[in-house]
Amino acid sequence: MIDVQSAPYAALVLRVGLALLFFAHGWLKVAVHKPAGTVQYFRSLGLPGALAYLTIAAELGGGAMLLLGVLARWAAIALIPLILGTIVFAHGRNGWLFTNKDGGWEYPAFWALALAVLALLGDGAYALVPSPWL
């Protein structure tokens, strides 16, 4: 049974945690690897370099939407393909465990699952612009 009194706060904690992860990964691409380095990495994977900029924007913009609770359910759904793409193009070939060299697909798979849970659970407490559901 779902505890309707605490569920909005559970969604809030999940939403903020996911937001911080997206900020951390987006900021890593901006501040550490630099956009040019991120473009080069995407190209080494056989992806268009411009996709690096879209990924950075999605991670930072999606993270902001999650943090603020601006259409967070829809932001979570929109970010799932980005995370699944990391499995297909980067981590999937490295095996299951993320402790493997260059990281396996265990962590991004759980991240995608957490995004799906947030989408199903709802925006949570203190959402600035709640998401309408179907």
For 15-29, the pLDDT digits (tens) are 999 999 999 999 999
User: Mean pLDDT throughout 25-36?
Assistant: 98
pLDDT of residue 134: 55
Model pTM? 0.93
For 60-103, the pLDDT digits (tens) are 999 999 999 999 999 999 999 999 999 999 998 998 987 888 88
- Identify the CA nearest to 79 among candidates 49, 37, 50, 108: 108
CA angle 81, 106, 51 (to 5 degrees): 35
Convert 98-122 to b/e letters by CB count within 10 Å (16 or more is b). beeeebbbbbbbebbebbeebbebb
Domain boundaries, the chain: 7-121
Q: What is the DSSP letter of 94?
A: G
Convert 20-42 to b/e letters by CB count within 10 Å (16 or more is b). ebbbebbeebeeeeeeeebbeeb
